[in-house]
Structure 1
Amino acid sequence: MKIKNIISLSLICFAFGNLSAQNPWPKTTETAKPWTRWWWMGNAVDEKGLDKQLTTLNKAGFGGVEIVPIYGAKGFENQYINYLSSEWMKMLQFTTNKAKSLNMGVDMAVGTGWPIGGPQVSEEDAATKMIVQTYTISSGEKFSEKIVLNGEKLKNLKTIKLDIVTAYNEKNEAVVLNDKITNDGSLNWKPYSGKWTIYAVFTGKTLQKVKRAAPGGEGYTLDHFSPVATVNYLKTFDKAFGNSNYGVRSFFNDSYEVYNADWTPDFKNEFKKRRGYDLSPYIKYLINNDENEVTTRVKSDYRQTLSELILNNFADNFTNWAHSKNSKNTNQAHGSPGNLLDLYAAVDIPESETFGSSIFEIPGLKRDTADIQKSDMPDFNMLKFASSVANVTGKKLTSNETFTWLTEHFKTSWSQAKPEVEQVFLSGINHVFYHGTTYTPADVPFPGWLFYASVNFVPENSLWPHLTGLNSYIERTQSVLQSGKSDNELLMYWPIYDQWATPKGKDIAFKVHNVEKWLQPTPMYENLNKLSKMGYSLDMISDKMINESKSENQKIQTAKEGSSYQVLIIPELTYLPETTLNDILKLAQNGASVIFQNEPKDIPGNFEVEKRRNQLKSLWNQIPFQNQAENVKIASFGKGKIVLSSDVEKGLEYLKIQREKLTDTGLKFVRRQFDGGKYYYIVNHTSKEINQFVPINYTGKQTTIMNPENGDFGVAEMQNNSVRIQLKSGESLILKNSETVDSSISKWKYAEKTDAPIVLDQTWQLSFKEGGPELPKSRNLKKLEPWTNFSDDPATQSFSGTGIYTINLNVKKKNADEYLLKFDKLYESAKVIVNGQDAGIVWSIPFEINIGKYLKKGKNTIQIEVCNLMANRIRYMDQKKITWRNYNEINFVNIDYKPFDASNWKVQPSGLDGQIQIIPLTYSK
């Protein structure tokens, strides 16, 4: 037991740096560590392999796994295990037991591949669509056609039924003919005059199957709008799990990628119950794309109904089911044809997704346009949908599927991953899942089994030895971002009815991949961008959440455990429900501050339009606005204030809401509050070094700087509510501002000046360890350069693994406070060993590390163990036509979803290049 305690303490010291003082870092947990999506290809897993891979992941710093079964590898069919079979459940139980012994967590998908579905989804429960056929009939004309579904593909389905039949004349007068159709499809009706068009709506099926399904998971995609379908689907899991959750922390549902599903068998009745009128006389307006008022109103009501159906019938049922198993649930709401905020809020852990590569100004950060997605780039405000919900409703965790298609296969370095995950953190997300890790049996040669759309967080990755650098950085950062609660001051209403009122199309799917269509062109998006850059912190809120909020102490309290906010902003909009305006005025009456960018023009929907429109105007007219200045009107309303201005910034000034001026430097931040203080997580994504006093709104009595890369900490230098910050491009830090003073914490070490650098331009020795296909020959180097420069040794062109650069140098004097080892060019990451002692991992920009404590006067030996990308070895294998990708279903594709072939790639530079310097530093006293 004593030995175990010593090991645990050493691990804590590794994770969080110097513990001689009172440690300001929050206690780490399994959720603070990164998790990874864990693909079980063909479910071809066994206990020995599961044990080995979980142990390996644990040693690398992972806190948990998310099991997602998918298609399998060819030649291993006899090892496949059917999803949810007794053998599969045995493997799950072994996994959760092993993970528990390692203090790791396990989540699992409620389905294989995506979107959810499978063999338990009957034709009746399958994703449903409306199929519309039109006919014409004139007065005095005999209608000889049968109103039956045409088309060979669907007409043999048992569930096809005629749902609505409505006729329209040239004056748009409507006659519902549902009761005029006989069983064989004959029409028992004749128009009294004129020419009529008949619209026949059939309840059909999309016939979509589960994509990338695993054995035992093949079948139709689920009808998310049907409560019966959802309950029936989950019964299969009830049968497999019984009363146990088998140790699963959270059941996961991937993004909604159900195509053409725009109906459900009971939609007509649900619509009437929820919207107050029969849709049948208006079906023409739903089908057509005419730009008129009735069309926009009917389509808005239709889309609102879809939103409520997926919320009530799928998301709520999914959550209740997970809770019945004493587990949580996780859902990626994006892609759904519904209010994303309400859908994210319906589950325990809302999960967003990053897809593609962002642009950063960080010098030296690789972003080869040939190796990135051409159309997709993560959108910061899209990420905020999920985190907003967590903050507003008081959920502790917001997760994110991270690094999907960050770069082309085998070309992603950990330095490229860092700013991308920082963008996720800055959006308010605090629980990242890597995308991802693939289970591989021990007897499968390099590169093992791989998934086609991911960064390869697998032990076979030549960069694996240095992954602990990225993982420990994320662990420290998330330990802070999971502490306390969000401290955003502004709420931004999402005017979803403006989205729903578009006359084009039927359902509207709010996807990650098309934000340029539905999100970016909106006034809300413009406000989010502008205010964030100015230093305001915002969350988004829905009509439902406004209804559930109340005013307390001049602030808006959004939920019992949720955050409180200073101002609610209603961006420029056309449609606002009178019920929502009434809820907003109640908040103001009780002390809230509200900014309207414009007067709402109308109510949405097609029910009792004039009555509701008058109610909206009546409510608005209750606000006693007074001109305050040009473009600014202000009203005292009960205990609160209401501002009307197209310039939200001016409105915030009149309400005396302070922004964080630190963003004037280009720094980005996210702020959290804890008992007795506030955290600031600050990142420098600019192209320049920041070395100055930076103002912050809350300082407390002591500000401690914490470095999430190495765990160092110290008391900051303060001046007039400003903190001195030194951040090079690509670096980050955390400020802990406390109302208590801890005198045991030393001052933060600021580099005051640097002396002339020591240039390591002596002879280097280069040798190799770990990797393949074979180790290159060792050699002496007159100057530092990548090993891929030495084409005289063919092995250097194909090698992926670890090369060791060694140099001996004589340090004549050692009188500086610190010595910084600075790399010029590093391909891709390095472990630095000084005089036999491990100084740490260099894995992110700027490529540098402090080595003063290991350096000595006189003779020194420095070893730099460099890991390169997998790319060169994969290139070699494709040139030699060595089979390594051999999967069922989709085999393996490149970033443009074309067949993958690395044989024509250029050799990726590997190792060290340019100068390496040791820079003496003097710290301020």
Structure 2
Amino acid sequence: MKTVIQKNGGLLLTGLFLLFVWPVCAQQGAWPVIKKETKPWTRWWWIGSAVNEKNLASSLEVLHQAGFGGVEIAPIYGAMGYESQYVSFLSPRWTDLLRYTVAAAGERQMGVDLTTGTGWPFGGPQVTKAYAASKIIMQHYHLSAGKSLSQPIRVNDVKQEGAALQALTAYNGNQVVLLMDKVDKEGRLRWSPASGEWELYALFDGRTLQQVKRAAPGGEGYTLDHLSAEGLRVYLHRFDTAFKHRAPGVRSFYNDSYEVYNADWTPAFLMAFKHKRGYDLSKYLRELASNDSTDLVARVKSDYRETMSELLLENFTRPWTQWAHGYKSLSKNQAHGSPANLLDLYAAVDIPECETYGSTYFPIPGLRRDSADIRNVDPDPVMLKFASSAGHVEGHPLISSETFTWLTEHFKTSLSQCKPEVEQAFLSGVNHVFYHGNTFSPPEVPWPGWLFYAAVNFVPTNSFWPHLPGLNEYITRVQSVLQSGVPDNELLVYWPVYDTWYRAKGHDMPLMVHSIDEWLHPTAFYKQVKELQRTGYSLDFISDRQLARADVRNGKDSGRVQLSAYKVIVIPKTRLMPVATMQQLIRLATEGATVVMEALPEDVPGLGDLGKRRKALKALLVSLSFKPAADGLTVAQRGKGRLILAGDVQATLWKVGLEGEKLASKGLKFIRRKEKNTTWYYLVNHTPQKIDEYLPLNKAEGEVMLLDPQTGNTGIALRKEEGGRTVVKLQLLPGEAMIVHTGKGVQAGAMADWKYLDSPEVPLTLSGSWQLTFTKGWPFMPVTRQLDKLMPWTALGDTAANAYCGSGVYSTTFTLLEKKAGEYVLDIGDVHESAHVWVNGQDAGILWAIPFRARIGQYLKAGSNEIRIEVANLMANRIRYMDQHQVPWRRYHEINFVNINYTPFNAAGWPVQVSGLTGPVTITRYE
């Protein structure tokens, strides 16, 4: 059946504000140059390292054709039945395969990164107990006057046999006696108190005994002591031997998230503590063992945590980075989870990397988010900004992200769900995305091939693979912009880590993604950051260590942190601040910085020289002499700059002439980049409302160009002056993104104007009959159907269609009695889950995310027209069928395969997932 449009009939699609696009050939020069780094990369699991040259080359070619710019090799456990094909990690054969991979990737203009280990965290057969992750073992004894201990002081845990006694201290009220010199080689204490009741605390250097998680063959062993400099040297020596000190050619070495559990010690800790903190921790074993909420306990624990932070930075992160540089490679590190100042660890590597874990709620109409298929974890953009902030402050050009970890349950992730999640990472400062991920799988392995248990499966066997270039091209365009120039953030917000470390409970404090409700969300820092972002300010975070190296002048000293790009340093309400940090803030103000303090610090952190440091801080604060100024601010003038005491930070920023972006009040999210005398805006509409109005952009001047990252098309925007500022017309539907390029340096040349969609006519609904043909799918090919109306193929009552995983093509014809000027917009309605459209045999594009719309005017003609919509569903229904019929497909060593709740995976009880096109499919003409 055909649908006929009368000559006088209008086409209307209420609320549609898609932006007109021009052929890509007309916009080449508007977008930044595409490089391998601007394309998405993927983690590439080598199952058992069962790889060979032929399959590696073909797999890289498939990834290259899909739009990937590089791979991140992660060797892990093997698949059952393929043991004979395993290649032992770092064996001569393994290193030959690595070098082959680097060469084969280079031939395709792709890059290769490599984890410095297998599975995670770092560890392996070269890690003996002497260099394995350490932990505190504390034992308590009671001793009365005139008595002696009958038993030797040895560790009680048989698993810790041989753990060295490092400190023994006796307490009687305020009396403290160090007893290590009273213990003989057999562990006998040669000491008896003359009077009183004494409590003795013994500290042993124990081992966590943690093994490498998900280790590949040849990578099994103890987890490394990341606080030990000698341990790292021993660990890396195995790589030096395998590489024969010849660079393997990888772009960077990377370190996964810090998951070294219960590792709260290192053999040299006591010595390092005394050197760094200025007092003997042995005198405070009682406090170290206590969880009492006292000031003394919290201060000792703070000093302990600061020392651990410095050891991780100095003995692991920095020397590992230097080692990578020795092989002409970069370092890429995920600091989250570390018991350390995250900003300092991220700052010490070449590519700081964050991680999106779980699923975020976005109020985008139609975006599927099933509660049963997501983890109870919401990625927090503030957490992501620790990595990007450190990189921005240090001037690192790339900020990466391990993206989509456990986004949904296996086989239930759509490309449309990926879009807002990766956009949230971009808005947080990420510009170098790594998918989590892709599993190398030999061609002879039956469907679905080898898979990793915690990932969205971006693999060729996934039914969305033919539509994946849509997502990849979008990410490539966005990253080409976000890798251009430098960040344009006006605020620098101090992170008061000492307030976080001041806690009596526990020993070390891993700053994990999963525990941000404890260490991040309750803080004044977090609340201030969220409020600043809500009011349209762009910002980065800075640590005490970075502030100590800061300079407001434009210098060329590579060891300094240049703050000239930031307009204001914001100090959220902070209880504990080192004297040196306060001194540095005053120095920066003297040199011209504006420092806005929500409140003055109340005290200094830590215990050593406490009275002296308290007096020094008090003297500094008194010397500031804050006074009321004419503009109503409370100011301490210092040299070229000033410190401002402000209970209302946002109001103060407005008074000093710094306004947030007004577009934030509309719910639009943004991030900016500066490039020469131009500014790039990346805008995203994650709200449920359409945007169709003139909006002010703080940096808009000169020419204003719009670039659509969804399609690649560009044009000159409508703009006008209102109230002394430039306002720009923007049209974004929920779920859409837009890039704005503005500034005196924007060269528009002969570029056409951006064609906005205005004055929609009455819409045409393609409500006639449709033919449904199944292509490229399994396990059964349903028969071709003639449908009286649009419906998903899972509504056909066909058991073959219910089990089907692949593509189905919906096709129909309609008649245009007249092809008018203007633009015609196709809306395919409700899609499960992505689509590729052809109009009259011409490719109209991949519709892979909300809103599922495309401009098709250039493909239409007067008279009869044909439309074909290829819909790809999820893998879920085929996996359901296989589990119901007990078809084996998952046989892996170690964890095998688990669901999103880390219990054994079984899809047999799943309901059938809706698959196909529900519609309605409409076409609307715009003037």
TM-score tier (shorter): over 0.9
Deviation for aligned residue 1:165: 0.2
For residues 43-78 of structure 1, what are the alpha-carbon distances to aligned partners after superposition, in whole Å with 9 as ceiling and x for unaligned?
001111111110000000000000000111000001
- Counterpart CA distance in 2 for 1:386 and 1:230 is 23
Q: Equivalents in 2 of 1:710, 1:198: separation in Å?
A: 71
Q: Measured at CA, do residues 408 and 561 of structure 1 come closer, stay the same or move farther in structure 2, by a change above 3 Å?
A: same
Flag the 1:563–1:881 CA change in 2: closer, same or farther, 3 A. farther
| Residue 635 of structure 1: how far off its partner (Å) | 1.9
Q: Distance in 2 between matches of 1:761 and 1:776?
A: 23
Map 1:76-91 → 2, pairs under 5 A: 76-91=82-97
155, 173, 180: which one aligns with 1:149: 155
Deviation at 1:758, TM superposition (A): 1.7
Residue in 2 that maps onto 1:736: 741
SS in 2 for 1:441: coil
- The alignment yields a C-alpha RMSD, in angstroms, of 1.6
Correspondent of 1:175 among 174, 177, 183: 177
Q: Which residue of 2 aligns with 1:706?
A: 707
* 1:328 aligned onto 2:330: yes
Aligned-partner SS, 2:829: strand
Q: Which of these residues, 291, 294, 301, is aligned with residue 292 of structure 1?
A: 294
Question: What SS does structure 2 have at the residue aligned with 1:679?
Answer: strand
- Using the size of structure 1 for normalisation, the TM-score is 0.96
For the residues of structure 1 that align with 2:393 and 2:653, how far apart are their CA atoms?
20
**How many angstroms apart in 2 are the aligned matches of 1:36 and 1:695?**
37
Partner of 2:252: 250
Post-superposition shift, 1:426? Answer: 0.2
2:908 paired with 1:908: no
- CA 1:178–1:600 in 2, change beyond 3 Å: closer, same or farther? same
CA gap of 1:199–1:764, structure 2 versus 1, over 3 A, is same
* 1:8 matched residue in structure 2: none
Q: Would the aligned equivalents of 2:554 and 2:562 in 1 still touch at CA under 8 Å? A: no
Candidates 866, 869, 876, aligned match of 2:871: 866
How much has 1:192 moved relative to structure 2?
A: 2.2
Amino acid across the alignment from 1:377: D
| Whole-angstrom distance in 2 between the partners of 1:504 and 1:259 | 17
Query: Which residue in 1 is equivalent to 2:24?
Result: 18
Shift of 1:658: 1.7
Which residue type is aligned with residue 609 of structure 2? E
Change (3 A) 1:558 1:910: farther
Q: Paired residues, what number?
A: 901
* Kept in 2: contact 1:303–1:508 (CA 8 A): yes
TM-score when normalising by structure 2: 0.96
Aligned to 1:7: none
The alpha carbon displacement at 1:654 in A equals 2.6
Paired residues for 1:158-557 under 5 Å: 160-169=163-172, 171-374=173-376, 376-552=377-553
Give, in angstroms, the shift of residue 331 of structure 1.
0.5
Aligned CA distance change for structure 1 residues 560 and 500 (closer, same or farther; 3 Å): closer
Encode CA deviations 1:260-286: one digit per residue, 9 max, x unaligned: 111101111111111111111111111
Q: Give per-residue Cα distances to partners, 1:555-600, cap 9 Å, x unaligned.
A: x999467772111111111110001101111000111000111111
User: Is 732-741 or 472-481 further displaced after alignment?
Assistant: 732-741
Instruction: Report the counterpart of residue 571 of structure 1 in structure 2.
Output: 572
Q: What are the Cα deviations for residues 634-665 of structure 1, in whole angstroms up to 9, with x where unaligned? A: 22111101111221112212322121111011
CA offset at residue 832 of structure 1? 0.4
In structure 2, the residue matched to 1:819 is 824
CA distance in 1, matches of 2:322, 2:200: 43
The whole-number CA distance in structure 2 between the counterparts of 1:869 and 1:637 is 62
Structure 1 residue 18 displacement after superposition? 2.2
| Bigger RCO of structures 1 and 2 (CA < 8 A, at least 6 apart) | 2
Moved >6 Å (runs of 4+): none
Residue 141 of structure 1: SS of its match in structure 2? coil
Q: Distance in 2 between matches of 1:290 and 1:631?
A: 44
Q: Which residue of 1 aligns with 2:838?
A: 833
Cα separation, partners in 2 of 1:795 and 1:151, compared to 1, 3 Å: same
1:596 and 2:597 correspond:
yes
Deviation at 1:480, TM superposition (A): 0.2
User: How has the CA–CA distance of structure 1 residues 558 and 867 changed in structure 2, closer, same or farther, with 3 Å as cutoff?
Assistant: farther
Question: Counterparts of 1:253 and 1:367 in 2: how far apart (Å)?
Answer: 31
Q: CA deviation at 1:202?
A: 0.5
| Equivalent position of 1:786 in the other structure | 792
Partners of 2:763 and 2:922 within 8 A in 1: yes
Q: Is the Cα contact below 8 Å between 1:33 and 1:475 reproduced in 2?
A: yes
SS in 2 for 1:540: strand
Instruction: Give, in whole Å, the separation in 1 of the partners of 2:167 and 2:575.
Output: 31
The whole-number CA distance in structure 2 between the counterparts of 1:67 and 1:790 is 43
CA drift at 1:42: 0.5
What pairs with 1:37-56 in structure 2 (closer than 5 Å)?
37-56=43-62
1:559 to 1:711, Cα distance in 2 relative to 1, 3 A: farther
Q: Aligned residue for 2:16?
A: none
Structure 1 residues 621 and 329, CA gap change in structure 2 (3 angstroms): same
Q: In the aligned structure 2, how far is the partner of 1:511 from the partner of 1:828?
A: 33
Within 1, Cα distance between the matches of 2:729 and 2:449? 48
Alignment of 1:619-638 (within 5 A): 619-628=620-629, 632-638=633-639
Taking the aligned partners of 2:632 and 2:727, their CA distance within structure 1 comes to 33
1:208 and 1:221 in contact (8 A); partners too: yes
- Summarize the Cα distance change of 1:399–1:22 in structure 2 as closer, same or farther, 3 Å threshold: closer
Give the C-alpha shift of residue 622 in structure 1: 1.6
State the distance in 1 between where 2:908 and 2:464 align. Answer: 21
SS across alignment from 1:124 = helix
Question: How far off its partner does 1:357 sit?
Answer: 0.2
In the alignment, the residues of structure 2 paired with residue 282 and residue 269 of structure 1 have an alpha-carbon distance, to the nearest angstrom, of: 14
3-state secondary structure, aligned to 1:364? coil
Alignment of 1:680-719 (within 5 A): 680-719=681-720
5 Å matches for 1:749-764?
A: 749-764=755-770
| Contact persistence 1:786–1:911 (CA under 8 A) | yes
1:627, distance to aligned residue in structure 2 (A): 2.7
Matched, 1:120 2:126: yes
The reply to whether residue 890 of structure 1 matches residue 895 of structure 2 is: yes
Quick one: structure 1 residues 218 and 680, their matched pair in 2 at CA, closer, same or farther if it must change by over 3 Å? same
Q: What secondary structure sits across from 2:344 in the alignment? A: helix
SS at 1:286 equivalent: helix
**1: distance between equivalents of 2:685 and 2:513?**
26
Amino acid at match of 1:462: S
How much does 1:293 deviate? Answer: 2.1
**What is the CA–CA distance in structure 1 between the aligned matches of 2:767 and 2:522, rounded to whole Å?**
54
Q: Which amino acid aligns with 2:43?
A: R
Pair 1:57–1:101, CA change in 2 (3 A): same
**Residue 17 of structure 1: how far off its partner (Å):** 5.3
- Relative distance call for 1:558 and 1:653 in structure 2 (3 A) is farther
When residues 558 and 588 of structure 1 are mapped into structure 2, their CA distance, relative to the original with a 3 A threshold, is: farther
* 8 A Cα contact 2:148 2:191, kept in partner: no
Superposition deviation, residue 172 in structure 1: 2.8
Deviation at 1:708, TM superposition (A): 0.3
Q: Please give the per-residue CA displacement for 1:146-205, whole angstroms capped at 9, x wherever unaligned.
A: 1111121111x4xx2100000001x23110001000111111111121000000001010
How many Å apart are 1:94 and its aligned residue?
Answer: 1.2
Distance between the aligned counterparts of 1:178 and 1:847, measured in 2? 72
Give 2:18's aligned residue.
Answer: none
Write the distance in 1 (CA, Å) between the matches of 2:442 and 2:660.
54
Amino acid at match of 2:232: T
Q: Is the 8 A contact 2:705 2:748 kept in 1?
A: no
Query: 2:917, 2:450 → 1: CA distance?
Result: 30
Q: Is the 8 A contact 1:341 1:386 kept in 2?
A: yes
The percentage of counterpart residues that share the same residue type is 51
2: CA distance between counterparts of 1:888 and 1:16? 52
